[in-house]
Amino acid sequence: MTARTSAESTRDIPEATVARLPVYLRALITLSESGTVTCSSEDLARAAGVNSAKLRKDLSYLGSYGTRGVGYDVDYLRYQIAREIGVTQDWPVVIVGIGNLGHALANYSGFRSRGFRVVALLDADPTRHEEVVAGIDVRPFDDLEQIVRENGVAIGVIATPAIAAQDVADRMVECGISSILNFAATVLAVPAGVDVRKVDLSIELQILAYHEQRKAQADTA
Amino acid sequence: MTARTSAESTRDIPEATVARLPVYLRALITLSESGTVTCSSEDLARAAGVNSAKLRKDLSYLGSYGTRGVGYDVDYLRYQIAREIGVTQDWPVVIVGIGNLGHALANYSGFRSRGFRVVALLDADPTRHEEVVAGIDVRPFDDLEQIVRENGVAIGVIATPAIAAQDVADRMVECGISSILNFAATVLAVPAGVDVRKVDLSIELQILAYHEQRKAQADTA
DNA sequence: AAGAGTTTGTGAACGCGAGAACAAAACGAG
DNA sequence: CTCGTTTTGTTCTCGCGTTCACAAACTCTT
Ligand SMILES: NC(=O)c1ccc[n+]([C@@H]2O[C@H](COP(=O)([O-])OP(=O)(O)OC[C@H]3O[C@@H](n4cnc5c(N)ncnc54)[C@H](O)[C@@H]3O)[C@@H](O)[C@H]2O)c1
Ligand SMILES: NC(=O)c1ccc[n+]([C@@H]2O[C@H](COP(=O)([O-])OP(=O)(O)OC[C@H]3O[C@@H](n4cnc5c(N)ncnc54)[C@H](O)[C@@H]3O)[C@@H](O)[C@H]2O)c1
pLDDT in tens, A1-46: 333 333 344 468 999 999 999 999 999 999 999 999 999 999 999 9
Q: Is A15-85's fold the same as A91-203's?
A: no
Q: What is the pLDDT of residue B214?
A: 93
How distant is the Cα of A143 from the closest Cα of chain B, in angstroms?
Answer: 23
Report pLDDT digits (tens) over A162-186: 999 999 999 999 999 999 999 999 9
Alpha helix segments (H runs only) across A65-155: 74-85, 100-106, 110-113, 144-151
Where exactly are the structural domains of chain B? Answer: 15-85, 91-203
Q: Tell me if A116 sits within 8 A of B206, measured CB to CB.
A: no
Q: What is the pLDDT of residue A221?
A: 67
Alpha helix segments (H runs only) across chain A: 15-33, 41-48, 52-60, 74-85, 100-106, 110-113, 144-151, 162-175, 201-220
Of A8-17, A93-102, A184-193, least confident by mean pLDDT is A8-17
Mean pLDDT in residue range A103-116: 94
Q: What is the pLDDT of residue B2?
A: 33
The end-to-end CA distance of chain A, in Å, is 54
Q: What is the C-alpha to C-alpha distance for residues A56 and A44, in angstroms, rounded to an integer?
A: 10
Give the number of the ligand closest to the Cα of residue A199: 1
Using 50, 70 and 90 to split pLDDT, how confident is the model at A96? Answer: very high
Contact B205 A116 (CB under 8 A): yes
CATH class of domain segment(s) B91-203: alpha beta
Contact A4 B187 (CB under 8 A): no
Q: What is the C-alpha to C-alpha distance for residues A187 and A148, in angstroms, rounded to an integer?
A: 24
pLDDT tens sequence for chain B (221 residues): 333 333 344 468 999 999 999 999 999 999 999 999 999 999 999 999 999 999 999 999 999 999 999 999 999 999 999 999 999 999 999 999 999 999 999 999 998 889 999 999 999 999 999 899 999 999 999 999 999 999 999 999 999 999 999 999 999 999 999 999 999 999 999 999 999 999 999 999 999 999 999 998 877 76
For B199, the 3-state DSSP assignment is coil
Residue-by-residue DSSP string for B69-99 = TTEEEHHHHHHHHHHHHTTTS-EEEEEE--S
Report pLDDT digits (tens) over B79-117: 999 999 999 999 999 999 999 999 999 999 998 889 999
From the list A100, A208, A169, A159, the residue with the least C-alpha distance to B181 is A208
Q: What is the C-alpha to C-alpha distance for residues A119 and A134, in angstroms, rounded to an integer?
A: 11
Considering the four listed CATH numbers 1.10.10.10, 3.20.20.70, 1.10.3720.10, 3.40.50.300, the one that applies to the domain covering B15-85 is 1.10.10.10
How distant is the Cα of B155 from the closest Cα of chain A, in angstroms?
Answer: 8
Q: What is the pLDDT of residue A7?
A: 38
Q: What is the pLDDT of residue B7?
A: 38
**pTM, entire model:** 0.95
- Number of the ligand 1 atom closest to the C-alpha atom of A101: 16
Nearest CA to ligand 1 atom 31: A164
Q: What is the pLDDT of residue A2?
A: 32
